[in-house]
Structure 1
Amino acid sequence: MEQNLAVGLDLGTTKIVAMIGRKNEYGKVEILGIGKSKSLGIHRGVVNNITQTIQSIQLAVQEAEAAAATKIDGVTVGIAGQHIRSLQHSDYITRADAETVIDEDDIERLINQVHKLVMLPGEEIIHVLPQEYKVDGQAEIKEPIGMYGGRLEANFHVVVGQVSSIRNIGRCVKSAGLELEGITLEPLASANAVLSQEEKEAGVALIDIGGGTTDLAIFRDGIIRHTAVIPFGGNVITEDIKEGCSIIEKQAELLKIKFGSAWPGENKDNEIVSIPGLRGREPKEITLKNLSKIIHARVVEIVEQVYVEIKNYGHEEQKKKLIAGIVLTGGGAQLKHLKQLVEYITGMDTRVGYPNEHLAGDSDDAITSPLFATAVGLVMDGLKRQERVKAETIVEDVIENEVDEIVEEEEMQEPVIKPKRSFLDALTERVKDFLDNAE
């Protein structure tokens, strides 16, 4: 695989998407290839059949490789599922020398300290996201690097998931012949793809309606404030249509996509759709009003659960108000009149988010569908990770060169420079080590 390419692997309940992208000269993300396969071994964001998941990953990857005419080695994988939970945590470090300025090492030390938090049995920290810092009691500092201070304190948003689920994903990726380069929480990936910086500053709730889960990420002042995963998605709506209309799942899904609406008032009573019967049976006639009522009931339930989470964050407080409202994305966001229903239930401004915020202008329309928001976000995450590694390598080379010069001058033994790693890289390493040892 070329050095400057990144691959996002979105393991969804209904589909698995592999997307290959790179940055163009204008700093925009250019999508080179996309592969999509039916997801068979994943239920509500959790792997429940390793073999089928591996096959689905391989199919998607092969399709993406063919489209981009390149070979894929490593991937950035999205993680979601009802086992994901988030918590707020504050921590601090006391610096040995208050006369020197705070640097990245201090922040890394603080973040690593948070990673030592004792979790419930079987849980592991996925992300530690700093919110605001305090230096010697001075609050509301967004970037403490370069400041003087003895005590560095911060509030963190900590995302936690089940070890077994993370390892199962790692296992599937490795068995599919790929390297796990990083793990990212899916709502964060989607948020990076569809939200603008202004929205994140003003306060916004991103709702990613997938097949198995509905993910929520809330931003305010440019900082992640709250994340949640609700174990309902588009599949539950399809299931309801299947039960309510006594038809097979395939027909229910098609009905939902073609004629589905979240607002029953939009359909007239005499609008009827005819569905062919099975094996020579009589065709079924379904009124679109009934179809909309079935969809409406379930969508209201999902939206209300999301709204409870938004209230839990504290949206009703003046200081925490989400001025930019709600952004809907994911496959479920394509449901007709969903935007109006969400506005009606929550009373918040709503728009449908397309992942074209950071994509190159000539991108295919299909890629800019809300369906691929997570995959685009994962590609962006992979590219960011590469840039970080590249920057660290340059710094290491500079240090090594300086060390070499000192060695030549003083004929000392060359010290070993340890590369700096973010905790997410360390987590990925741990998953890799576990998989290597398991074999």
Structure 2
Amino acid sequence: MEKQNISVGLDIGTTKIVAMIGRKNEYGKVEILGVGKSKSLGVHRGVVNNITQTIQSIQQAVQEAEVTASEKIEDVTVGIAGQHIRSLQHSDYITRANSELVIDEDDIDQLINQVHKLVMLPGEEIIHVLPQEFKVDGQAEIKEPIGMYGGRLEANFHVVVGQVSSIRNIGRCVKSSGLELEGITLEPLASANAVLSQEEKEAGVALIDIGGGTTDLAVFKDGIIRHTAVIPFGGNVITEDIKEGCSIIEKQAELLKIKFGSAWPGENKDNEIVSIPGLRGRDPKEITLKNLSKIIHARVVEIIEQVYVEIKNYGHEEQKKKLIGGIVLTGGGSQLKHLKQLVEYITGMDTRIGYPNEHLAGDSDDDIASPLYATAVGLVMDGLKRQDRKAREAQEELQLEEESYDDTESVEEEQVLESEPKERKSFLDKLTERVKDFLDNAE
């Protein structure tokens, strides 16, 4: 099998680290060849706080994936999230030197580079600059200004900001695990690619990815990402509450949550009791399921309300910005019983659970199509897309070289034709290069 067609997603989470190997089959769907999973020990709320433990966990997950897929892993696409990620809206403009020429890629790049010069807090860096809509000479709501005439080019941007040290730490862990960084992707974007359909992104949808340490939000409308946020609460806080509220150990609290937990207290009758073995010779504890779901309910309501504040910040209550597609829940925390009903009750928006099976090959394992693996599937897809782009660019260069043997006039025409569909380099590709350079120089 060609090495080229394989992509590896590495999801470094607070509770688990997943390495997933996939490739495209002949129908353009993603076929998962192997999955490795290990307990994440050195990550807190999406941020690495113990490099040695994180490296061990990554190596364990990678090894497991290599064994199941009988493939050697060299390059990985890594997701970044964590409580240090925040986003802001920003407007900027440039005045073009010559309004007689049509607007091209360079003008847009110049405008984007200008946004990159925004002054951030110490230690923060701009990760993502996403143009929302453009204005040319005051004419608003332009989706694609390339090819138009105009003197003043203006745009609204969605700017995602993160702490550069946290991103470098993740890069360090990956490199020290003996792997190469192929790409870096924002985790809410990866999850969105795995579980949302294009129609939903057009209609307007909020993706809520409830992980162990953080809850990620990505809002789409008209096919463009409009808002992102990371809330520093996740499934672990619920487990912590159960542990404190019922005076039991964490392992038991986690099992209780998964097996008997519900986000809706009205579901449980007063006489439903679960007995938990006591510690070493002590009497077993009896816990009523009603109390258990009251503890879970209180914390889940808090998480959902914080997410809803972010959705309102985007402007969901304005008629023009209404999210017709409602809410899609994914991530391990979305498997909590009756969560969908509670989210609908709090927000009044249509809700569904997002499974990453839309892009997976038909014969995929049911376990992989669980919301638990949404981010990992998204990262594999992102890696495959990046490979396609590289292959296309290499193909274009080859064509140009062949053409250069012909006379120069036809070469010029060819270059004009070639340059039109060329994709702009994504900011995350640039970020990946910067992190790679930093790691190379730091050693």
Measured against the shorter chain, the TM-score band is over 0.9
Matched residue pairs, number? 432
Q: Compared with structure 1, are the counterparts of its residues 320 and 303 closer, same or farther at alpha carbon in structure 2 (3 Å cutoff)?
A: same
Question: More deviation in 386-395 or 281-290?
Answer: 386-395
Task: Please report how far the alpha carbon of residue 95 of structure 1 lies from its aligned counterpart in structure 2 after TM superposition.
Answer: 4.3
Going from structure 1 to structure 2, the CA distance change for 1:15 and 1:113 (only over 3 Å counts) comes to: same
Structure 2 residue aligned with 1:426:
430
Q: Which amino acid aligns with 1:256?
A: K
Residue 394 of structure 1 and its aligned partner are, at CA, apart by 2.1
Structure 1 residue 421: Cα displacement: 4.0
Residue 313 of structure 2 corresponds to 312
Work out whether residues 9 and 76 of structure 1, in 8 Å CA contact, stay in contact via their aligned partners in 2: yes
Alignment partner, residue 360 of structure 1? 361
Q: Distance in 1 between matches of 2:123 and 2:149?
A: 39
Is the Cα–Cα contact under 8 Å of residues 392 and 420 in structure 1 kept in the other structure?
A: no
Secondary structure (helix, strand or coil) at the match of 1:357 reads: coil
Supply the AA of the counterpart residue of 1:86: S
1:39-63 superposed Cα distances (whole Å, 9 cap, x missing partner): 0000000000000000101111111
Where do 1:101-140 residues align within 5 Å?
A: 101-140=102-141
For 1:357 and 1:95, locate their aligned partners in 2 and report how far apart those are by CA, in whole Å. 44
1:182-209 Cα shifts (integer Å, max 9, x gaps): 2111111111111111111111111110
Per mean C-alpha deviation after superposition, the further-off stretch among 129-138 and 10-19 is 129-138
What is the alpha-carbon distance in structure 1 between the residues aligned to residue 228 and residue 256 of structure 2?
A: 32
1:51 aligned residue: 52
Distance 2:193 2:177 in 1: 27
Distance 1:118 1:404 in 2: 48
Alignment TM-score, normalising by the size of structure 1:
0.93
Q: State the Cα distance separating 1:90 from its structure 2 match.
A: 2.2
Distance 2:424 2:189 in 1: 23
Aligned to 1:197: 198
- SS of the counterpart of 1:265? helix
Which residue does 2:414 correspond to in 1?
none
Q: Distance in 1 between matches of 2:401 and 2:97?
A: 26
For the aligned residue pairs, the C-alpha RMSD in angstroms reads: 2.2
Change in CA separation of 1:197 and 1:235 when aligned onto 2, cut-off 3 Å: same
Other structure's SS at 2:275 match:
strand
Alignment of 1:209-358 (within 5 A): 209-358=210-359
- Distance change >3 Å, CA 390–CA 116, structure 1 → 2: farther
Instruction: Call closer, same or farther: CA 1:291–1:341 in 2, change over 3 Å.
Output: same
Q: Secondary structure at the match of 1:279?
A: coil
2:81 alignment partner AA = A
- Give the equivalent residue in structure 2 for 1:412: none
Hey, what does 1:414 align to over in structure 2?
none
Instruction: Report the CA distance shift for 1:428/1:263 in structure 2 as closer, same or farther (over 3 A).
Output: same
| Partner secondary structure for residue 27 of structure 1 | coil
The letter for the 1-side match of 2:64 is E
Task: Provide the residue aligned with 2:88 in structure 1.
Answer: 87
Asked if the contact 1:123/1:162 (under 8 Å) is kept, the reply is yes
What's the % identity of the aligned pairs? Answer: 88
User: Following the alignment from structure 1 to structure 2, what is the Cα–Cα distance between the partners of residues 255 and 280?
Assistant: 21
Q: Mind listing any 5+ residue stretches in structure 1 that lack a counterpart?
A: 410-416
Aligned to 1:31: 32
| Cα shift at 1:116 | 2.8
| CA distance in structure 2 between the partners assigned to 1:190 and 1:426 by the alignment | 21
Task: Report the counterpart of residue 73 of structure 2 in structure 1.
Answer: 72
SS at match of 2:229: strand
* Residues 200 and 220, structure 1, Cα contact 8 Å, conserved in 2: yes
- Maintained 8 Å contact 1:216/1:306: yes
Q: Report the AA paired with residue 30 of structure 1.
A: E
CA contact (8 A) 1:16 1:38 kept: yes
Corresponding residue number in structure 1 for 2:143: 142
Instruction: Give the structure-2-normalised TM-score.
Output: 0.93
Q: Secondary structure at the match of 1:304?
A: helix
3-state DSSP of counterpart to 2:226: strand
1:375-390 alignment runs, 5 A limit: 375-390=376-391
| Displacement of 1:400 | 3.4
- One-letter amino acid matched to 1:282: D
Indicate how the Cα distance of structure 1 residues 421 and 221 shifts in structure 2: closer, same or farther if over 3 A, else same.
Answer: closer
Q: Secondary structure at the match of 1:324?
A: coil
CA–CA distance in 1 between the matches of 2:97 and 2:358? 43
Corresponding position of 1:413: none
In 2, the alpha carbon distance for the partners of 1:319 and 1:79 equals 31
What is the alpha-carbon distance in structure 1 between the residues aligned to residue 36 and residue 75 of structure 2? 15
Shift in Å at residue 149 of structure 1? Answer: 3.9
Change (3 A) 1:170 1:27: same
Give the deviation of 1:405 after TM superposition.
5.0
Post-superposition Cα deviations, 1:262-294, rounded to whole Å, max 9, x if no partner, equal 001000111111111111221111111111011
2:42 maps to a residue whose letter is: G
Looking at structure 1, the residues matched to 22 and 335 of structure 2 have their Cα atoms a distance apart, in angstroms, of 24
CA spacing shift, 1:152–1:402, aligned 2, 3 Å: farther
Does the 8 Å CA contact 1:133/1:140 hold for their aligned counterparts? yes
Unaligned runs of 5+ in 2: 411-418
Query: How far apart in 1 are the matches of 2:14 and 2:366?
Result: 23
**Matching residue's letter, 1:26:** Y
Deviations 1:198-256 (A, max 9, x none): 11111111111000001111111111111110000000000011111111101100000
How far apart in 1 are the matches of 2:151 and 2:397? 27
- Report SS of the residue matched to 1:251: helix
| Counterpart-to-counterpart distance in 1, 2:70 and 2:407 | 46
Query: Whole-Å Cα distance in 2 between the matches of residues 134 and 381 of structure 1?
Result: 30
1:103-137 CA-to-partner distances (Å, cap 9, x unmatched) read 44443343333223332221111111121122333
1:435 aligns with 2:436: no
1:406 Cα offset (Å):
6.0
Amino acid at match of 1:354: Y
Partner of 2:207: 206
- Residues 17-68 of structure 1 show CA distances to partners (whole Å, capped at 9, x for unaligned) of 1111112222211111111100000000000000000010111111111111
